Amino acid sequence: MVGTALFFLFAGLAIACAISMVYHRNPIYSAISLVGVFVALSCIYVTLAAPFIAAVQILIYAGAIMVLVVFVIMLLNLDEDRPHSRLHYLYALGGGLGVLLLAQTFFIFYSVMRAPNLPADQTVSPGETMSIGRAMYTEYLLPVEIVGIMLLMAVIGGVILVRKLNAPQLELVVEKELELRNEEEAKDGLGIAL
């Protein structure tokens, strides 16, 4: 009974933070709301007797991933966007997808309620550290390494895309290129004259 009440409390908190994340126009406020979603999910993991997954949720997602998200937001230096009048059809598309998601949620709830109650196998412990570590470094080692390399490539690509040349540096590059072209044309002109 207490577990069910805690689940609904944390699920409601996660839904409220998710709605807040979508509602805010400022990306920093949205990122903070996303941290609230991650914390609520971590609390749900604790109620499901998976403390390692809850700790990883806090450390990795609410800590490291959100620091990267905020870092990218600050690098992009987003200005206040003016509302786009040409994107009104996206509201209808978003509403339709929301109704589809709500129907899927009710279908899953209905399916879970109709499923037979079978006793849990106590020998299987999917949330323990040993089973997760054993699976990560034996069976799933290659996918873990591939994901790590892809994340590194994404961070490097994001930094390269965000780098901007200042106007004086850009002018210096253009002037240097023009000087090189003038020198080449002068050399070509001397070669013809000889």
Collect contacts of 60-68 with beta carbons under 8 A, ≥24 apart: 62/35, 62/38, 66/31, 66/34, 66/35, 66/38, 68/155
DSSP state of 87: G
pLDDT at 194: 46
Share of the chain above pLDDT 90, in %: 15
Determine the average pLDDT of the residues in 106-131.
76
CA 55-15-17 angle, 5° bins: 70
DSSP state of 86: G
Map out the domains of the chain as residue ranges.
Answer: 1-77
pTM exceeding the 0.85 threshold for the entire prediction: no
pLDDT at 157 over 70: yes
CATH code at 1-77: 1.20.120.1200
pLDDT at 190: 55
pLDDT classification of 25: cutoffs 50, 70, 90: confident
Tokens of residue 49, six digits = 């007797």
